[in-house]
Each structure stands twice: as structure tokens, then as C-alpha cells.
Amino acid sequence: MAGCCAPGADIAPAGRPAGEEVRLASRALSETLMQTDLSVPAAHCGACIRAIEKALLALPGVEAARLNLSTRRVAVQWRKDGPVPPFFDALARAGYDATLYTHDQSDDDPEFGRLLRATAVAGFAAMNIMLLSVSVWSGADAETRHAFHLVSALLALPAVAYSGRVFFASAWSALKARRTNMDVPISVGILLTLALSLHDTFRNEPHAYFDAVVSLTFFLLIGRTLDHMMRRKARTAIVGLARIMPRGAVTVSADGARDYKEVRAIVPGETLLVAPGERIPLDSIVMQGSGELDTQLVTGEAVPVIVARGDKVSAGMLNLNASLSLRAERSAEDSFLSEMMRMMEAAEAGRSRYRRIADRAASLYSPVIHTLALAAFIGWMAATGDWHRALTVAVSVLIITCPCALGLAVPMVQVMAARRLFEHGIALKEGGALERLAEIDTAVFDKTGTLTLGDLRVAASTVPKHVLAAAAALAARSRHPAARAITRLDPAGEDLPVEDFAEQPGLGIEGRIGGALYRLGRPSWACAETTAASERSMSALSRDGVPLGTFSFTDTPRADAKGAVRALLGRGIAVEIVSGDGARTVAAAAHHLGIETCRAAMLPADKVARLEELRRQGRTVLMVGDGLNDAPALAAAHVSMAPGSAAEVGRNAADMVFFTGALSAVPVALATAQRAAVLVRQNLTMTVAYNIAVLPLALAGYVTPLVAAIAMSSSSILVVANALRLRGGERTLTPTELRAPKLAEVTS
């Protein structure tokens, strides 16, 4: 796994999918062709397109390959009858890491197409009607005006019927549930105005509001479409991340035949083979073989666990160095993973339903304007007795206080914020998460994989420099985290030839270099003598039994972890660690990062319970975690974040996923969310103030279609312009927050 140190490469080096797995994930295009979709997250330019497509087309059996640069996915068509072409090796040779992409989720997005078409139709109608309206406003004679109103009506009716469905459907479902949302006042406004304008057109009255109705629909649809685009982009980015849980496993039947089966198809009692570097697919018992498992995704422990015949292993553990033969104990539905899913659902159900700001505003706002409109109608009716005049005034009140700006006020800010977060490598799944993030007062971190990379790092070594290469050469041949740490000390080691290499699970590795037998591992084994007591976190190197020195290890803290914690504390956020790892390591990490509250040896249920306890104390909590064991907690927290290296379940449960390796993503997201919250509040205040200012005009009956059009567009422009200020704030935020922690990291 050399060369995965590209900036931002945060994805754990997992085993490449086997040929059978690729076949399982592909779909048949025709009798002879199969199509496989691969995610290539590193593709970013025209040269990448060329390199990737060329590398794939050069493979035997590949008929076509086309890279989509927007989704960073390449679709490869290959001949069914041949073997599966080695896509991953070819791409790796070209310099790209790829992962299999499956169309398992609701992948084609019909909603987005519908929104775009609705926006296009509304835009077309709005422009044409506005054109006709301008000539009416500039003083067309009665006959021409009537004709223009008729044409406008002909354009507006189908356009509203087609494009307005988005709002009507949502308003209807809200009303059915006896709630109001943003779409209720919008729908009422649109329908009433349209009805009155139609009536006036047939009676040949001077004013019709078709332009207001259609441009209102158009503006609102723009806001909706942008909002949807933001979520789609985040989803594409998240789905493209490496798959961590295995899709299937090699099973051995009673007569010794091997078969690659999908995880779901494996029943308890079957024998599975798990090669080094693969993850355990199902909860099972070890039948044969012994070795070390990396359990950090499951339990949060950073140090590998030694297993032998008869031990139980959970789905999601990574097999480091053993060839294991397992007996499946539970089916996929009852595995550890599914247990986490159930806990997640329970946690989500218990979480108080958050209502978005726009909907909360609407629930206050719509009764007020509807009452006002009604009062205007009754007032004018009583004063003049002319019902048509009274209705016109009531409708103009609805139009002028139209939630158009309100409908844009929130999504515009959130779209801008999401874009900024994306530039910082953070994918935001929905705007509501941003509102919730701005409210937090406590941040709870998982340790392994979140505050630390779960990777070990050599803290100190007494090994003389000239034999480092030998140690690195041995270590390069092992997947053990300690060995990987030693490999990084001397990159030249990889090229050194090693003979008779052997890995002794739980003890260490040995091999001959230049005729001498080197051993690297437990001091008691490598040097045949007991030395220090704390030998769990130490490795010794010996040549022909003569000790050469020792290495000691620590957890690698995630880049900027210290700075991120300090930035959060600086913002008055309480920080604590909730980890599944042992008390000593957790305390050490907490001390290193300057965190006072920490809890160790927490089971997934304990983590949820802790969040529940905090919630009862009136805290709003941000949870940051990556493991399978964090998934229920991520779902239970007020808002949650996960690193891109997290297990799929965690990524799906979290509201935000950050791809940069650095933990500074957390304070950056928080700063952006808080700034967005300020802008949203400003926008809402501005809209309300604006409405209050023009309301007397409407109540007095002075609002003609021309005034309505001007008022509506100017308030929308104001709100959008204010949302754009989110970009301007960028410079004041980043340099201090990003640079300072890096300096601290260097000096520590």
C-alpha cells in the first residue's frame, strides 16, 4: 500500500475488490456486454480523463470507457464471456485509486429533473408574460390590453399547473398532517391571485397579476432547485467514497468447492475463508488459523487483537495477517452491523423532530398575513360594499407580503454555505443540519479514527540509523499497524530483498537480509529475554538474536486535532471524548489534546446513553465519530459529522462528512454554520421589515401589478445579495484558524 500519501488521502487502504465482487456489482447491458461503474475520486482535469480512459481501453475485453468528471465516475463496458478485466490494477498503474460503485440507492434522481423542467417552464412563461405586461404597463389601449391579458392567461395557466405542482403537493401533504409549512402561504397566494386575474381578464378589467404569479413561481423554483443541487452534490461525493464493508466472501462447501457468495446469501454454519487484508463479513467463530485483527472500526481499540481457534469475531474487523477459516454464526440480518442499524433507527426515532427555520417562520408568518388579507377584504367590503375591489385589495396584500423573499431567504444562504463547506472538503447533506450545527454547545468526539488516525506512529526509537533500512524492509512486508509505522521511517527499505520472511501472529516478523536473521516484534520474542514491562506498545529489533534496539509507538493524532479542539473551546463549546478504547490510552489522548472530560470503554449503547444524558441536561450536542460503534450515537446526536474514512453506516448516519484528513474541518464547519445562521436571521428580519413597510400601500389599495412586480423582485434581489455576503466573510475566518493549529502541530 505504498504511495497513498497524496494530500487528502484519508481512505484506509483496504483490499481491492476481487473479480467475483466486480461481476456481482456490474449490470448486464446486452447479451455480450457488462457495465461496471467505478468511482475515481482523484480525477479532476482533462488529462485525467485521457489517462483513465486510455488505461481502461487498453485492457483486453474492455469495449468502452467514459469518465464523468462531475460525478468522478467512470463507466466501463466489457465483454461478458471473458474474465473480469483488472480495472483496479490498470487504474493504480495510471496513478488513480478507484472503488466499485453500485447503483443500490435511489440513484437516478427523478426529483431533480422534475425541478429543472418546472423551473424551465416557469422561466419561459415568466419572460413572455413579463414582455406582454411591460407593454400593458406602458399604456396599451383597452383592446390590445385585453388581448395581451388573454395571451398571458393562456401562458400562465399551463405554466402554473405544471410548475406549481411542486408547491401544491408539499402544501397539501402538510395540511393533511395538520401542519403548515412554507408552501401553504405560497400555494394560497398563487392560486388566489391566478383565480382573481382570470376572473378580471374575462371581465376586461384593467389589472391582471399573471406576471406576479408566474415570476413568483419562477423565483421560488430557483431557490428549490439550488437547494436540491446542493444535496445532490454532497450525496455524489459521499457515495463515491471507498466501500469498507465486504460485499461478499469466499465460502467452502462440504466437498471443498469454493464459491464467492454475496453476504446476504451466506447462512449460519457455512465455512468462510478470509485472506489477510480482508474484513470479516459476518459475526463468526474462528475454526482454523490464528493472527491479529484490527478491531478499531468495531470497538474503537487502536491496538490489534490476537485471535485463535474458538474465538468469536465480529463483522467489520480487519484481518491483518492471518489466513482464517471461519464458521458463520449469524446471518447478515443479525450481525453486529445490523444491530447497529437497529440502534440507529431507535436513536433517530427518539430524537426530537427538528423543524427547519423556514417552516417555523412560515408557521408564525402565514396566519398573520392570511388574517391581514381577510381583514383587508372585510374592511373594504364594509367600507365600499364592492366585493371585487375588496378581493383585489386582499389579493394584493397576499402578493406584496408574498413569501417569495422568505422562500429564497433561507435556501440561498444555505446553498452558499454548502458551497463554501464543499471548498473546504466538507459535504453537507441537507440545509437543516447547518441550522442545527449553529445551535450546538457541546462537541463529543470518538477517539480512534476521529481524534487519532487509528494508525500507530513511532514515538521513539533506540535503533541505530544504519539498520533502520533492514527494519523497514521487514516491516514493509506486514500489514500490522506497528510495522506500517516502521516502514515509514525509511522508504528505501522496501527495495531491500528479504528471504525466508515469516510472520508470527502476536509475536512479530522475521526474515533474512544479507544472510543474517532479523527479528522484529515483541521484545521477549525478538531478543529472547524479557525487558520492559510495557511491551505492548514496544517492538524490538534483533539480528541473530542480538538486540539492536527498540521502537515505541503512539497513536497518530489526526492533523490539526489539537488546533480544532482549541478552536472549539475558544468558541465556548464544551468538548469531551467518548471512546470504546481502554482507559489509559483515552486519558493519554485527552491529556495530549487538552480535553478534560473523557469516558473510556464505552459500548455503542453507552455512547447513545451519554448523548441522551447530555440532552436531558439541556445541551445540544455535535457528535464526531467514524466507527461502526459510533453510528447509533451519530444518529442520536443533535447534529453529527464523520470523516471520509468512516464506515458506510457512519457516513450515512452523519449529517456532514469531511474528506480532508484534518480535524480543523469541525471548527470551519461550525464557523460557517454560525455565520450562515446570522445571515439567515438578517434575511428574515429584512423580509419582514420590507413587508411591514409596503403593507400600508397594499391595504390602502395602491398596489397595481407594476408596483407588485417591482416590490417582489427588489426584495428577492436584496435577500440574494445578502446571502452572497457569506463569501465575503471567508478571508476573516480561514487564515487564523487554519494556520495556528498547524504551527502548534509542528512545535508539539
Binding site for other proteins (CB under 8 A): 45-47, 49-50, 67-71, 113, 116-117, 120-121, 124, 127-128, 131-132, 143-144, 147-148, 151, 155
Strand partners for 97: none
* 634 to 545, 559, 604, 682: CA distances (angstroms): 49, 22, 10, 31
Q: Which is nearer to other proteins, 45 or 254 (CB)?
A: 45
Q: Which is nearer to other proteins, 71 or 215 (CB)?
A: 71
CB of 70 to other proteins, least distance (A): 5
Q: Which is nearer to other proteins, 73 or 330 (CB)?
A: 73
d(CA 507, CA 523): 9
For residue 417, give the nearest of 671, 731, 665, 235 by alpha carbon.
671
Cα dihedral 528→534→538→539 (10° resolution):
10
Q: What backbone torsions phi and psi does residue 2 show, to the nearest 5 degrees?
A: -75, 160
CB of 61 to other proteins, least distance (A): 23
CB 585 within 8 A of CB 487: no
CB of 52 to other proteins, least distance (A): 11
Q: Tell me which DSSP letter residue 32 carries.
A: S
CB of 678 to other proteins, least distance (A): 32
Q: Which is nearer to other proteins, 215 or 585 (CB)?
A: 215
For residue 549, give the nearest of 494, 477, 481, 489 by alpha carbon.
489
CB of 155 to other proteins, least distance (A): 7
**Catalytic residue, candidates 37, 446, 455, 655:** 446
Q: Residue 59 contacts by C-beta under 8 Å, 6 or more apart in sequence?
A: 78, 85, 86, 87, 90
Q: Which is nearer to other proteins, 116 or 175 (CB)?
A: 116
Could you tell me whether strands 639-643 and 318-319 are parallel, antiparallel, or unpaired per DSSP bridges?
Answer: unpaired
Angle at 729 between CA 726 and CA 731, to 5 degrees: 135
CB of 68 to other proteins, least distance (A): 4
Q: Which is nearer to other proteins, 151 or 467 (CB)?
A: 151
For residue 559, give the nearest of 645, 453, 647 by alpha carbon.
453
Query: Read out DSSP for 155-186?
Result: HHHHHHHHHTHHHHHHHHHHHHTT---THHHH
Angle at 638 between CA 637 and CA 639, to 5 degrees: 90
E runs forming strands in 2-133: 27-28, 33-39, 62-68, 73-79, 99-101
CB of 43 to other proteins, least distance (A): 9
The x, y and z cell numbers of residue 419, run together, are 458551497
CB 210 within 8 A of CB 227: no
Catalytic, 446? Answer yes
Q: Which is nearer to other proteins, 5 or 45 (CB)?
A: 45
Q: Tell me which DSSP letter residue 640 carries.
A: E
d(CA 624, CA 123): 42
Q: Which is nearer to other proteins, 68 or 704 (CB)?
A: 68
Could you tell me whether strands 452-461 and 546-557 are parallel, antiparallel, or unpaired per DSSP bridges?
Answer: antiparallel
Q: Which is nearer to other proteins, 48 or 649 (CB)?
A: 48
CB of 38 to other proteins, least distance (A): 15
Query: Read out DSSP for 517-583?
Result: EEEEE-HHHHSSS---S-GGGEEEEEETTEEEEEEEEEEEEPTTHHHHHHHHHHTT-EEEEE-SS-H
A 10 A CB-CB count for 147 gives: 12
Q: What is the set of active-site residues?
A: 446
